[in-house]
Structure 1
Amino acid sequence: MSSQPFSETDHNQHKRVSSRSNPGFLERLSDTAGGTVVGVALFFLSFYVLFSNEGRALQTASSLDEGLSQVVSLVPSSGLDRQNDNHLVHLSARLRTSSPLHDPNYKVMVQAVKLKRQVEMYQWVEYRESKDYQEDGETKTETTYTYNTEWKSELINSRNFDKEIGHINPGAMAVESVTVVAPEVRVGPFLLSKGLVEQINDFQTLSLRGFPASDFDTFLTVDGDYFYHTPYPRRPEVGDVRVSFSFAGLSGEGSYPGPAETVSVVAMQRGENLMPFKTKSGDTLEILYLQELSAQEVFEKEHQYNTMKTWGLRAAGWALMFLGISLTIRIIHTLVDWVPILRELVSLGLKLFALCVSCSLSLLTIAVGWLFYRPLVAAALGVVALLPVLIARSRVPAKKHQ
């Protein structure tokens, strides 16, 4: 493979052309054989995803039904009742934290469960676009490199650019992104577990309108909802930094930036702590929704989520199977790709074959999963499916007798 010097079209754009000799039949066959190995691995992985997903869905549904049959709904104003220890409980109440969260560097303060500082740097970003074409018996690749300046939260290493000269980024950010979490979060009289607190992620941007910018030095400017480490936020240069803040789970009594949020929780009570509840079906129930819901509504939402996840994994399993079959039989396309007309027909036929086989095997695997995890349901469905045949056969002797 050879590479030609790039052609300069602009300071922030250039093209580079590379060429490679067209692979021979044996080389293409060898590459296809490697894809076949990957295809076989994906094919068997799809069976595991499809089959285990049915068991997971059943276990989750059983755990939710078990939880709904046992859950005790509490009234937060009634206080702590120790008779409910080690029982699954449900309550809806406002979030409470002992003190506000603050960032001393920017003098930001908010009473919430979480406070996130998001840092971005103005940096060079490289984009590349490639196209292949045939010339003089070789495959040539023309790659166009374009460089733009953008605000990015991750550090971009300009040493990996095709052309670093004139597009150099700093090696580190002056300020780091960080998320601060309240040490204690309460709902009613209860202290939330770490797992419940992790589910509070409804981050909202903290508005900086009316923020007293005079409290800072001349190199820190407030513009919109950002702190800029430059006196010229509308004309940033590479290396300039801007900072925004967001919060999740308001838990204060004041009016700024809003009243405390009401959440609905389903978990196990142990003293004043809310903890994970282990069901007999094998799942763990530790649920939090950022809205006021009854126990019935909480479990209905969990059932809906379980259904969506089940169908999502079914689709993922089918996609893995389709891709695996396509890669496995691609070697047939390689054997005939030197005949243009035959190549197109074979390619279409192989795609249809992979589609049909993957659909059939996916449905069969799901059916086997039902038979394995839900034998009674599968048997009942089988009987229902055979009823028309049995009825038809039962009528045959009667007609012969007539």
Structure 2
Amino acid sequence: MSSATTFSGKDSHKRVRSHSNPGFLQRLGDTAGGTLVGVGLVFLSIYILFTNEGRALRTASSLDEGLSQVVSLGTFSSHDFQNNNRLVHLSAPLRTSKTLHDPNYGVEVQAVKLKRHVEMYQWVEYQESKDYQENGETKTETTYTYNTEWKSELINSRNFDKEIGHQNPSAMAVESVTVVAPQVQVGPFTLSEGLVEQINNFQTLSLTGFTSSDSDPFLTVHDDYFYHTRQPKRPEVGDVRVRFSFAGLSGDDGPAQTVSVVAKQSGERLVPFKTKSGDVLEILYPEELSAEEVFMKERQHNSMKTWGLRAAGWALMFIAVQMTTRIIYTLVDWVPILRDLVSVGLKVFAFCVSSSLSLLAIAAGWFFYRPLMAAALGALALLPVLLARSGLPAKKHL
């Protein structure tokens, strides 16, 4: 393999790498390896599709069970221990006991979470490659472009194709961090850690009223950011900016956020509720909802997740079948017309087989819960085979 570099601009250059075209035996060996990988992906896809159906049905059963048992609590200021260990629902404002603050920047807010998000101005490398044939060789032309951008993650410039003139610092001067209130209450109850984790509707903290620090002349406030530079509109590589955001407002900075919770009442705490199906109900939404509305949203979420995993499982199956049949294309890729026909045929074959195998995996997942539905899906999966056999000419008997 050989390479050559050409420069096409101030912050970009091109590099051309060439290598000889692989022979027939090498291509055959590569596709044979791909066939083994494809077989493995087929089993992975079947596993995803099969377990997804069981998960979806188990979740649906748990939601039905929860809705039939949930007790909606009214407005009160004390605990009703008659509902102890039962699944309860309530909508009430969030309350926290302490104000969250960041002493380094003088920021404070009474909320459930306070996040410090740090970005550094860094060099970023972009690559764009294209292949072409020349003198019996395959050449790859890669264009490397360098831009300066604000990034929250540290970019290692040592991995750049051209590091000279594009060096980034090896560490950030300030780290991102999220502070969580030690105790969060809704009504008279304290929320479990799992419920607190679901409070993630972050909003940017306005820095209106903040001014540049006299003690640090390089700290400037601009557009709700703290900039560690004198010129925020003309930053240099290595400059840092910090933005704050909060979730779950709960104090004097504004009206406390109302949340709706479905969980088990355990004394003065709201904790996970384990259903007979084996799932756990521990639900929080950052809005005022009735118990029926909470469970309706959970059903919608379960449906979207189920169909998303079905689509992902089918796509993985389609790719897997294509990889397993790629060896057939390799055997004829030296004949242009035949190569194109086989390519189209293999794609149609992969579509039919992946659809049938996906439906069979889904049917197997339904078998233990609804056998009739499983049988219907199995028959639908075999439809392409039946159609193909019906199109074959009947055998002549002498």
TM-superposed CA distance for 1:216, in Å, is 4.9
User: How far apart, in 2, do the equivalents of 1:248 and 1:265 lie?
Assistant: 16
Task: List per-residue Cα deviations over 1:88-142 (Å, max 9, x = no partner).
Answer: 1110000000011100001001111001001000000001111111111111111
Equivalent position of 2:388 in the other structure: none
1:332 aligns with 2:331: no
User: How far apart, in 2, do the equivalents of 1:209 and 1:64 lie?
Assistant: 45
1:353 to 338, 349, 355: 349
Equivalent position of 2:104 in the other structure: 105
Q: Work out whether residues 49 and 317 of structure 1, in 8 Å CA contact, stay in contact via their aligned partners in 2.
A: yes
TM-score by length of 1: 0.91
Instruction: Sort the Cα spacing of 1:381 and 1:147 in 2 relative to 1 into closer, same or farther, 3 A.
Output: closer
User: How far apart, in 1, do the equivalents of 2:213 and 2:105 lie?
Assistant: 12
Equivalent position of 2:204 in the other structure: 205
Instruction: Name the amino acid aligned to 1:135.
Output: E
User: How far apart, in 1, do the equivalents of 2:157 and 2:375 lie?
Assistant: 62
User: How far apart, in 2, do the equivalents of 1:99 and 1:232 lie?
Assistant: 36
User: How far apart, in 2, do the equivalents of 1:54 and 1:277 lie?
Assistant: 22
Matches within 5 A, 1:25-36: 25-36=24-35
TM-superposed CA distance for 1:74, in Å, is 0.8
TM-superposed CA distance for 1:212, in Å, is 3.0
User: How far apart, in 2, do the equivalents of 1:260 and 1:216 lie?
Assistant: 34
Instruction: Sort the Cα spacing of 1:327 and 1:378 in 2 relative to 1 into closer, same or farther, 3 A.
Output: closer
TM-superposed CA distance for 1:186, in Å, is 0.3
User: How far apart, in 2, do the equivalents of 1:165 and 1:290 lie?
Assistant: 49
SS at match of 2:124: strand
Equivalent position of 2:81 in the other structure: 82
Equivalent position of 1:57 in the other structure: 56
TM-superposed CA distance for 1:213, in Å, is 2.7
User: How far apart, in 1, do the equivalents of 2:343 and 2:269 lie?
Assistant: 61
1:2 aligns with 2:11: no
Instruction: Name the amino acid aligned to 1:317.
Output: G
User: How far apart, in 1, do the equivalents of 2:214 and 2:248 lie?
Assistant: 28
Equivalent position of 2:23 in the other structure: 24
TM-score by length of 2: 0.92
TM-superposed CA distance for 1:357, in Å, is 1.4
TM-superposed CA distance for 1:163, in Å, is 0.6
SS at match of 2:155: coil
Task: List per-residue Cα deviations over 1:41-93 (Å, max 9, x = no partner).
Answer: 11111111111111111110111111111111112425201121111111000
User: How far apart, in 2, do the equivalents of 1:13 and 1:376 lie?
Assistant: 62
SS at match of 1:77: coil
Equivalent position of 2:269 in the other structure: 273
Equivalent position of 1:294 in the other structure: 290
TM-superposed CA distance for 1:377, in Å, is 5.5
Instruction: Name the amino acid aligned to 2:35.
Output: T
Instruction: Name the amino acid aligned to 2:353.
Output: V
SS at match of 2:284: strand
Instruction: Sort the Cα spacing of 1:214 and 1:176 in 2 relative to 1 into closer, same or farther, 3 A.
Output: closer
TM-superposed CA distance for 1:215, in Å, is 5.3
Equivalent position of 1:248 in the other structure: 247
Q: Work out whether residues 76 and 189 of structure 1, in 8 Å CA contact, stay in contact via their aligned partners in 2.
A: no
Query: Which range is displaced more, 266-275 or 364-373?
Result: 364-373
Q: Work out whether residues 113 and 249 of structure 1, in 8 Å CA contact, stay in contact via their aligned partners in 2.
A: yes
SS at match of 2:368: helix
Percent of paired sites with the same residue:
78
Q: Work out whether residues 204 and 246 of structure 1, in 8 Å CA contact, stay in contact via their aligned partners in 2.
A: yes
TM-superposed CA distance for 1:265, in Å, is 0.3
1:372 aligns with 2:368: yes
TM-superposed CA distance for 1:379, in Å, is 7.0
Task: List per-residue Cα deviations over 1:283-328 (Å, max 9, x = no partner).
Answer: 0000000111111111111111111111111111111111110000
TM-superposed CA distance for 1:361, in Å, is 2.0
User: How far apart, in 1, do the equivalents of 2:301 and 2:179 lie?
Assistant: 29
Task: List per-residue Cα deviations over 1:209-265 (Å, max 9, x = no partner).
Answer: 22233555211000111100011111100000000011111011x2x3x31100000
Equivalent position of 1:157 in the other structure: 156
Instruction: Name the amino acid aligned to 2:356.
Output: S
Query: Which range is displaced more, 7-16 or 85-94?
Result: 7-16
Q: Work out whether residues 360 and 377 of structure 2, in 8 Å CA contact, stay in contact via their aligned partners in 1.
A: no
Unaligned stretches of 5+ in structure 2?
379-398
Unaligned stretches of 5+ in structure 1?
383-402
2:337 to 337, 341, 352: 341
Q: Work out whether residues 119 and 175 of structure 1, in 8 Å CA contact, stay in contact via their aligned partners in 2.
A: yes
User: How far apart, in 2, do the equivalents of 1:51 and 1:162 lie?
Assistant: 44
1:308 to 304, 308, 311: 304
Instruction: Sort the Cα spacing of 1:380 and 1:142 in 2 relative to 1 into closer, same or farther, 3 A.
Output: closer
Q: Work out whether residues 54 and 373 of structure 1, in 8 Å CA contact, stay in contact via their aligned partners in 2.
A: no
Q: Work out whether residues 366 and 373 of structure 2, in 8 Å CA contact, stay in contact via their aligned partners in 1.
A: yes
Query: Which range is displaced more, 342-351 or 73-82?
Result: 73-82
